[in-house]
Amino acid sequence: TKIFAYAIRKDEEPYLNEWKSAHKDIDVDYTGKLLTPDTAKLAKGADGVVVYQQLDYSADTLQALADVGVTKMSLRNVGVDNIDMKKAKELGFEITNVPVYSPDAIAEHAAIQAARILRQDKRMDAKMAKRDLRWAPTIGREVRDQVVGVVGTGHIGQVFMKIMEGFGAKVIAYDIYKNPELDKKGYYVDSLDDLYKQADVISLHVPDVPANVHMINDKSIKEMKDGVVIVNVSRGPLVDTDAVIRGLDSGKVFGFVMDTYEKEVGVFNKDWEGKEFPDKRLADLIDRPNVLVTPHTAFYTTHAVRNMVIRAFDNNLALVEGKKPASPVKLDA
């Protein structure tokens, strides 16, 4: 049995080696390259592939993989929005993801960044760097004084709720599917509009499905409270970035946490030092004192990366051995 892995980073190698040591009978090979129509041939002879990338698993890429006889593909991450599902189904692909590798990693990042915005940390850091040690006007807002509105109470949203409650905030939530436990405890408001009207901090924890694209837009921002903090560590397309910029410019939006961005593919996780930065709007956001941009690193912890690698290989082995994997992806999703 042979498994071939794509886009393995240095920080993933120890966990890949750990899995290899525990599965000495399995032939494991890998590359640092992404899976593309060109690199698909590297998987020739393998029974399955383990992958992670933000680049699309396009119809051409899937076809190229099927052409070398590989149709069992295991993602090391959660999001499956970059797979051409129609083509995958047509070619008889079996796909798995790792839906829960460490919701805490992402929730914790969202909570830390939201708190930093409320305390105006970026402004204070900039003052410190200039040796300006005056207090005013960089006064903070306490988390416990905020109503925190959580949109999406799945794996990550639920951990975020607990952390924010730990700070003492009042937490309200909205989900198109009400979790019975949370419902019993009275967290849910009836509509997104209600959440927008009541929340001082709004954090998105929903998937990037067509219905959710630009759910944060001029109209929704207008409904929000003055001085709202918006947090998006989920997916860039959920937010109309220009609308948030208009909100920041008018002062309606107090701060914006963005770990994901509509145009992040090809820009995030690259070193632009000394090179022409390709996105003026993003450069402007990075420079703003009340915007915290991170390049999709909410997930990026040792705990999460280990689980992503080990669980993806476990899933792929199950697929190639004809067993039921822990987390199959529904191709008609």
Which residue among the candidates 94, 264, 306, 311 is catalytic per the annotation?
Answer: 264
232 within 8 A of 258, measured Cβ to Cβ? yes
Crossing angle for the helix pair 241-250 and 280-287, to the nearest 10 degrees: 40
87 binds ligand COI (CB under 6 A): no
154 binds ligand COI (CB under 6 A): no
35 binds ligand COI (CB under 6 A): no
Residue number, 231 or 320, with CB nearest to ligand NAD? 231
79 binds ligand COI (CB under 6 A): yes
- Residue 190: which residues within 8 A CB-CB, separation 6 or more? none
Contact stretch for ligand NAD (CB under 6 A) within 8-16, 89-97, 200-208, 321-329: 200-208
String of contacts with ligand NAD for each residue 210-249, x by CB under 6 A = --x--------------------xxx--------------
How far is residue 33 from each of residues 41, 42, 54, 316, measured CA to CA in Å? 12, 10, 13, 19
Which residue among the candidates 76, 141, 205, 235 is catalytic per the annotation?
Answer: 235
Known catalytic membership, residue 235: yes
DSSP string, 55-111: S-B-HHHHHHHHHTT--EEEESSS--TTB-HHHHHHTT-EEE--S-S-HHHHHHHHH
46 within 8 A of 4, measured Cβ to Cβ? yes
Question: Which positions from 159 through 178 interact with ligand NAD, judged by CB under 6 A?
Answer: 174-177
174 binds, among ligand NAD, ligand COI, none (CB under 5 to 8 A by kind): ligand NAD
206 binds ligand NAD (CB under 6 A): yes
Known catalytic membership, residue 223: no
Residue number, 152 or 247, with CB nearest to ligand NAD? 152
Backbone φ and ψ of 7, nearest 5° = 55, 35
Distance CA(310)–CA(101), nearest Å, equals: 10
15 binds ligand COI (CB under 6 A): no
Distance CA(104)–CA(303), nearest Å, equals: 9
212 binds, among ligand NAD, ligand COI, none (CB under 5 to 8 A by kind): ligand NAD
Adjacency order of strands within the sheet including 2-5: 27-30, 2-5, 48-51, 72-75, 94-96
78 binds ligand COI (CB under 6 A): yes
293 binds ligand NAD (CB under 6 A): no
Which tokens sit at 204? 């998105």
Distance CA(266)–CA(277), nearest Å, equals: 11
Query: Which positions touch ligand NAD (CB under 6 A)?
Result: 78-79, 106, 151-157, 174-177, 205-208, 212, 233-235, 259-260, 296, 298-299
Query: Which positions touch ligand COI (CB under 6 A)?
Result: 52, 77-79, 296, 299
Residues with active-site annotation: 235, 264, 296
